[in-house]
């Protein structure tokens, strides 16, 4: 691997031999390494997974365009910086190189103040990119966050699992938000596409948010889905792989903390869709997990054959809990 990484280093014109290399395994899609060169500088070397992102050049086009926009109009925001080859390309054999943004990420967060600050950081990002022309970005994943399309894929599969019937009965309700956008009632805008706890870096000394990371899914989308996905991530009691379904639920203190932070930066005009979006995103993920399980676990990375089924059951339980707390959640808006 060191030979490969040195070839990448030379392609991006980085001086100094590789002194240290550390694989980063937290991300579930790309092959990622933190590299320290003899010059003392640190970089991230990442090989794009082309099974997921079949047009990596378009992914980089979206990222660079978004970074350029933010650097111009929101210069105080920390943005991702990628290097170019001598030919002016951002990819070399599907490898890319970016500066390290120092900080730490978490899969879950328990500190209510940090959750509120996370809400502010994600809300600020959403507000910042809302001024971009979403038509200028490429749809790098066909049907991404198209809840209706995910349902259609699942319901074409044959299964006697009880989860199939639960999801089938939720189809209309879960697709309500998606319908509003697809029917032109609300405009598509630039969105992050994957707002979750692990995609926010915090400063190691102040514990304040430093930067929103992982822009691979930045494209035209539904901004309320960014909110819904972030709430699903921050306000859930446990991770999506929790096997004890009795522990799965929504933490109202966490929900209140995140929402107060988000709305302080990004007061949505379509607030009536914010709470439904949390349900929609959660059910959508359950649909995707169950689909992947029935198709042989071809998309999500797993550690055992039943993991995607467990994840689907977990998200179904979370959706049930969201419905129970819906009126309580609406009070915070």
Reply yes or no on whether the pLDDT at 269 is more than 70: no
pLDDT: which is higher, 301 or 155: 155
Helix axes 147-155, 274-294, angle to 10 degrees: 30
Q: What percent of the chain has pLDDT over 90?
A: 88
Both tokens assigned to 288:
């995707």
Supply the CATH classification number for the domain 112-330.
Answer: 3.90.1200.10
Both tokens assigned to 196:
């979750």
Reply yes or no on whether the pLDDT at 185 is more than 80: yes
> What is the mean predicted confidence (pLDDT) over 122-138?
94
Please report which confidence band the pLDDT of residue 271 belongs to, taking 50, 70 and 90 as the band edges: confident
Could you report the per-residue pLDDT of 44-83, keeping only the tens digit for each? 999 998 888 999 999 999 999 999 999 999 999 999 999 9
Range in 25-39, 106-120, 134-148, 287-301 the model is least confident about: 25-39
Q: How far is CA 24 from CA 27, 95, 107, 163, 212, in A?
A: 7, 15, 14, 34, 17
Q: Domain limits of the chain?
A: 2-99, 112-330
List the helix and strand counts (H, then E) for the chain: 11, 8
Domains 2-99 and 112-330 share a fold: no
Domain 2-99 superfamily per CATH: Phosphorylase Kinase; domain 1 (3.30.200.20)
> What is the mean predicted confidence (pLDDT) over 112-128?
97
CB 18 within 8 A of CB 37: yes
Could you report the per-residue pLDDT of 217-262, keeping only the tens digit for each? 999 999 999 999 999 999 999 988 899 999 999 999 999 999 999 9
Distance CA 4, CA 8 (A): 6
Please report which confidence band the pLDDT of residue 302 belongs to, taking 50, 70 and 90 as the band edges: confident
Could you report the per-residue pLDDT of 149-184, keeping only the tens digit for each? 999 999 999 999 999 999 999 999 999 999 999 999
Distance CA 56, CA 53 (A): 6
């Amino acid at each position: 691997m060191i030979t490969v990484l040195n070839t990448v280093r030379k392609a991006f014109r980085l001086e100094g031999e590789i002194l240290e290399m550390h694989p980063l395994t937290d991300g579930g899609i790309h092959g990622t390494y933190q590299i320290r060169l003899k010059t003392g500088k640190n970089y991230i070397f990442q090989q794009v997974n082309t099974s997921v992102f079949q047009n990596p050049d378009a992914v980089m086009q979206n990222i660079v365009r978004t970074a350029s926009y933010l650097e111009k109009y929101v210069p105080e925001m920390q943005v991702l910086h990628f290097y170019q080859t001598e030919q002016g390309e951002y990819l070399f054999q599907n490898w890319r190189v970016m500066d390290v943004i120092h900080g730490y990420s978490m899969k879950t967060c328990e500190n209510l103040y940090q959750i509120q600050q996370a809400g502010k950081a994600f809300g600020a990002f959403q507000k910042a990119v809302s001024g971009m022309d979403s038509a200028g970005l490429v749809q790098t994943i066909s049907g991404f966050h198209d809840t209706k399309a995910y349902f259609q894929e699942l319901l074409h599969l044959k299964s006697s699992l009880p989860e199939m019937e639960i999801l089938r009965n939720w189809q209309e309700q879960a697709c309500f938000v998606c319908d509003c956008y697809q029917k032109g009632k609300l405009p598509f805008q630039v969105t992050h596409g994957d707002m979750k706890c692990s995609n926010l870096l915090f400063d190691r000394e102040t514990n304040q948010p430093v930067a929103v990371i992982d822009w691979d899914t930045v494209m035209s989308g539904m901004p309320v889905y960014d909110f819904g996905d972030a709430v699903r991530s921050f306000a859930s009691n446990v991770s999506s792989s929790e096997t004890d379904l009795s522990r799965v639920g929504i933490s109202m203190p966490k929900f209140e903390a995140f929402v107060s932070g988000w709305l302080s930066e990004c007061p949505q005009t379509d607030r009536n869709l914010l709470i439904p979006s949390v349900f929609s995103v959660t059910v959508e993920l359950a649909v995707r997990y169950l689909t992947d399980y029935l198709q042989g676990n071809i998309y999500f990375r797993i550690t055992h054959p039943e993991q995607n089924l467990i994840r689907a059951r977990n998200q179904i339980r979370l959706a049930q809990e969201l419905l129970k707390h819906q009126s309580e959640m609406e009070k915070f808006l």
